[in-house]
Amino acid sequence: MSDSSLDKKAHFNVFLRGSGHHAAAWKHPASRPKEDLDLEYYANIARIAERGLFDSLFMADNYSGLGRRLEPFTLLSALAALTKHVGLIATVSTTYNEPYHVARKFASLDHISKGRAGWNIVTGHSQADAGNFSKPEHPEVSRRYEIGDEFVEVTKQLWDSWEEDALVYDRENEVAVDTSKVHEINFKGTYYAVTGPLNIPRPPQGYPVLVQAGSSESGKELAAKTAEVIFTAQQTLGAAQEFYTDVKSRLKKYGRTPDQLLIMPGLSPIVADTEAEAKDIEDEFNALLNTKQMLHKLSNYFTVDLSDYSLDSLVPVDKAKPYGSITTGITSRQEVVVDAARRDRMTIRQFIARSAAGHGHVSFTGSVLQTADFIETWIRENGADGFNILPHIYYSGLETFVDKVIPELQNRGLFRTAYEGKTLRENLGLARPENKNKAICALERTALKAQNG
């Protein structure tokens, strides 16, 4: 353990998801499935997270299926008015949007929240999404990432199209905006040609915090180049350390340092005062599972139908589809899930239970002290900079973590006792990006003044 790891503080995000992240959460008597579209329900979750000094809350999104999800910008803008500190991270696809729309919406959210916005950059993962956007097919992975890379660059340039001091509101001279400090970007690339400028000033954070949620090779490279936070999925400390070292080692070629990127694996904790009580809670939720549905879903990773096997037989890992062969869904998740089954020699019954708890992320069931030990080990041993928390059920799963695990981590000096700043960047310890146009525009103005004598 290095000396620097002893000084690390954990960061936490809470992942919003209906009744909770356990596959059977909505069936539990304590859940509130009819409140999936209710603002006050999500406001209460946000307030709990803020009471626990969480860095942020995160809303995933897609453009097809029956997910019953509110549109992220609409919900997070409402939550911005009901909270003061917690960050607000929205998933937005680069495949089914335009850079101008996304730049404008995130700038708006960042202004409304006074600097608490974050963008979870995804490239999309469903053929059904394509069908809803008049597209004949969903682009294959490498092309999606090429589009995504260019999309992010256009968006950054649009945010930079306004210099910070462009708004002058000079009543005497009747000048509200110094137009010499608002610039066209005239971007021309392979996929986009955008003139600019944006029609809203630069966000308070410069850019919203840029998040990337993927562990594929293309995803890791995009993260190393662009992201400031990674939401990822590893199920063992060893796998987490390997991923942590791999991604952080890629930063140098992009002129970045390891502290400019925070890695936050998903963690689905079931916590109680004792391990036995936590195990009872886990058993209670697993008893509510629809086994047939789970087998159908998990069979997507295999060339065989798992329902043809006994629940107590070992997972047929030799029948797993080749990694990378799945082109829909989160393509990197297949490797994580199947490798866990192989490593732990799981029975199909165990495989179902593990998958139900954290849908591919690491799950942990134990006492408050055991949970704090788990988190401390991953942080100190460079498996994570923090965690994307996936409560098994709302509200109680998050409340237990906030009211019991957080104080224990604070006692260990591993978590803040107050928010450090006012923006999401400040609380994550991330620098505010300089406007890339600033130096260029200053030189242009100097040259123009010289030309005019």
Section 134-147 average pLDDT: 88
Q: What is the mean pLDDT of residues 221-242?
A: 93
Specify whether the CB–CB gap between 57 and 86 falls below 8 A: yes
Contact 14, 57 (CB under 8 A): yes
> Binding site for FMN: which residues?
61, 91, 145, 215-216
pLDDT level of residue 448 (50, 70, 90 thresholds): low
Q: Kindly tell me the sign of the dihedral angle through the C-alpha atoms of 414, 415, 418, 420.
A: positive
Query: What are the residues whose beta carbons fall under 8 Å from the beta carbon of 256, sequence distance 6 or more?
Result: 224
Cβ contacts of residue 259 below 8 Å, gap of 6+?
429
Q: In the prediction, which pLDDT does 323 show? A: 67
Whether residue 340 lies inside any domain: the answer is no
Three-class secondary structure of residue 17 per DSSP:
coil
Residue 362 has phi, psi (to 5 degrees) of -70, 135
Cα–Cα distance for residue pair 83/46, rounded to 1 Å: 7
What share of the chain has pLDDT > 70, as a percent? 93
pLDDT of residue 446: 64
Split at pLDDT 50, 70, 90, the class of 191 is: very high
- Whether residue 127 is contained in a domain is answered as yes
H-only helix segments in 170-324: 217-226, 237-249, 275-286, 291-298
Q: Is the pLDDT of residue 311 over 90?
A: yes
Residue 248 tokens read as 């952080």
Confidence of residue 188 (pLDDT cuts 50, 70, 90): very high
pLDDT band at 227; cut points 50, 70, 90: very high
pTM over 0.85: yes
pLDDT tens column, 351-382 = 998 889 888 899 999 999 999 999 999 999 99
Tell me which residue has tokens 């237990």: 400
Domain hosting residue 38, numbered range: 8-163+183-274+361-431
pLDDT at residue 430 greater than cutoff 90: yes
Which residues are annotated as part of the binding site? Answer: 61, 91, 145, 215-216
52 occurs within a structural domain? yes
> pLDDT value at position 3?
54
Q: What percent of the chain has pLDDT over 90?
A: 77
Question: 386-425 pLDDT, tens per residue?
Answer: 999 999 999 999 999 999 999 999 999 999 999 999 999 9
- The CA radius of gyration of the chain, in Å to the nearest whole number, is 23
Those residues with Cβ within 8 angstroms of residue 39's Cβ, 6 or more apart along the chain or in another chain: 75, 78, 79
Q: What average pLDDT does range 176-184 have in this prediction?
A: 96
Using H for helix, E for strand and C for coil, what is the string for 218-245? HHHHHHHHHCCEEEECCCCHHHHHHHHH
Looking at the structure of the chain, the number of domains it has is: 1
What backbone torsions phi and psi does residue 375 show, to the nearest 5 degrees? Answer: -65, -45
Q: What band does 2 get if pLDDT is binned at 50, 70 and 90?
A: low
pLDDT at 441 over 90: no
Tell me whether residue 148 is in a domain.
yes
**pLDDT mean across residues, the chain:** 92
What is the domain-level CATH number for residue 30? 3.20.20.30
- The stretches of 36-81 forming alpha helices (DSSP H) are 39-51, 72-80
What span, in angstroms and rounded, lies between the C-alpha atoms of 399 and 271?
10
- Alpha helices for 301-422 (secondary structure H): 333-343, 348-358, 368-380, 396-400, 406-411
Give 98's DSSP letter: -
Output the pLDDT for position 199. 97
Is residue 264 domain-resident?
Answer: yes
Element (H, E) at 266: strand 262-272
Within-domain flag for 17: yes
Residue 344 in any domain: the answer is: no
- Report the DSSP pairing between strands 386-389 and 11-16: parallel
Could you tell me the pLDDT band of residue 146, with boundaries at 50, 70 and 90? very high
Task: Give domain status of residue 21, yes or no.
Answer: yes
d(CA 83, CA 81): 6
pLDDT per position as a tens digit, 20-72: 999 999 999 999 999 999 999 999 999 999 999 999 999 999 888 887 789 99
Residue-level pLDDT at 70: 93
- Assess whether pLDDT exceeds 60 at residue 329: no
Q: What is the pLDDT of residue 66?
A: 80
**449 pLDDT tier (thresholds 50, 70, 90):** low
d(CA 290, CA 246): 38
Bridge partners (DSSP) listed for residue 210: 119
Least confident segment among 2-6, 134-138, 237-241: 2-6
- d(C-alpha 21, C-alpha 29), whole Å: 15
